Amino acid sequence: MSATFTSPLAEALAEPLLERFLRYVRVDTRARRDTGVTPSSPGQRVLGVMLAEELRGLGADDVELDANGYVTAKLPTSSATTGATTVIGLIAHLDTSPDAPGAGVEPIVHRAYDGGVIELPTGATRLDPATMPELATKAGHDVITASGDTLLGADDKAGIAAIMAAVAHLRAHPELPRPGLAIAFTPDEEIGHGASLLDIERFGASCAYTIDGSEIGELQDETFSAVEVLMTITGVDVHPGFAKDKLVNALRLASRVIAALPADALAPEVTSGREGFIHPYAMEGSAARAQLRLIVRDFDDALLDAHVALLEAVAHGIVDDEPRATLDIQVREQYRNMRLYLAESPRVVEAAAQAMRAEGIEPRREPIRGGTDGSQLSGRGLPTPNIFDGGHEYHSVREWASLQEMAAAAATLVHLCEIWSTQ
């Protein structure tokens, strides 16, 4: 066995997994904001059709691609399973981030990476281990990148490939005991819709795992609690030549709201660890009407509410001073910290930790400064922690993945099945 692999099982899974991964990343599944339809981009359905076909080819039952682009399938227990009644879910998302180009991905496999700077052929994109501490530890790995002008899409096609590789292995080895498996590939996770239309009852699992983390060993049972705020300020627009004492400029008011928010605290650029933030990420409009979009995040629900209250107070303090202007604030809940829900079924996270140890990996339990499909699913009654998938530098043209870590994720899933087969 090559020393870079975590086990002979991971090494055996690696090449078939890579073949799948390279196919999946070539499909442009970049999510689009504000289309009002699911999936938000046609490529997600193209990948869905491909995966449904492959799942049928692997002998999965009840394979379905529904009207919203969700791919679901079941894999029954094997003949070697005695008495297991649990069904566990394996979930990954089809879409890629809208924040980087996603069309025409041309993956490059850098076999036995030498540990130096990787220069990509286009876009003057370089991956420098001096500024990428995780890459610096991957000398000897087979590193996969895009070509420099697109993201790679390991987020989350590494998760999809790991699930498919594990399912193919389990099908080929009926002598391995396994629980019933429910598989879901979901659209539009990156724009906050992932799994919202997954019918949990029909899915039929008593717990699930998203394969959507990054560095090997990541096991995440805690995410942000998250809301989105849409603020609309209406002013009074008048021809600027005749505007004296009449014009009320909505854009100026919106700019003052942003300027009045804390800048040396409670902003993503100055916070880390368990600190929350208020983040204005889009402003558009005219003198007549301005719209401000913000996200608010914290690990603690009471603090999250306090940040929203602060934001509302700041905005009202500025806009209410101008009686001719109006202010409308819409607060939309996105997801809640999954910790509260997972604490009720500690066995779910414990089984994942045990599966990683069986693969020789020490689990790293760190809160995610973000959300996963599992944040929402856990809140809806399906406890769903998150497992690493070996991809890195997500949402950027520098995105890369380690084949050894992707294979370790697939091997971890095989162990996870063995552990649940006796529950």
Residues lying near Zn ion in the complex (CB under 5 A): 155-156, 212
Minimum separation from the CB atom of position 285 to Zn ion (A) = 31
Are 293 and 230 spatial neighbours (Cβ–Cβ below 8 Å)?
Answer: yes
Shortest spacing between CB 155 and Zn ion, in angstroms: 4
Beta strands 386-387; 219-220: pairing state? antiparallel
Catalytic site positions: 95, 189
CA distance 332 to 250: 23
Do residues 210 and 384 touch, judged by C-beta distance below 8 A? yes
Distances (CA, A) of 4 to 140, 159, 176, 399: 7, 20, 25, 20
The smaller minimum CB distance to Zn ion, of residues 159 and 180, is found at 159
Task: Calculate the alpha carbon distances from 333 to 106, 188, 340, 371 in Å.
Answer: 37, 17, 17, 12
Alpha-carbon distance of 93 to 224, in angstroms, equals 19
- Nearer Cβ to Zn ion, position 11 or 221? 221
**Rounded to an integer, what distance in angstroms lies between the CA atom of residue 238 and that of residue 245?**
10
Tokens of 69: 């682009």
Torsion on CA atoms 199, 203, 208, 214, rounded to nearest 10: -70
Give the nearer residue to Zn ion in terms of CB position, either 155 or 418: 155
How many other CB atoms are there within 10 angstroms of residue 114's CB atom?
11
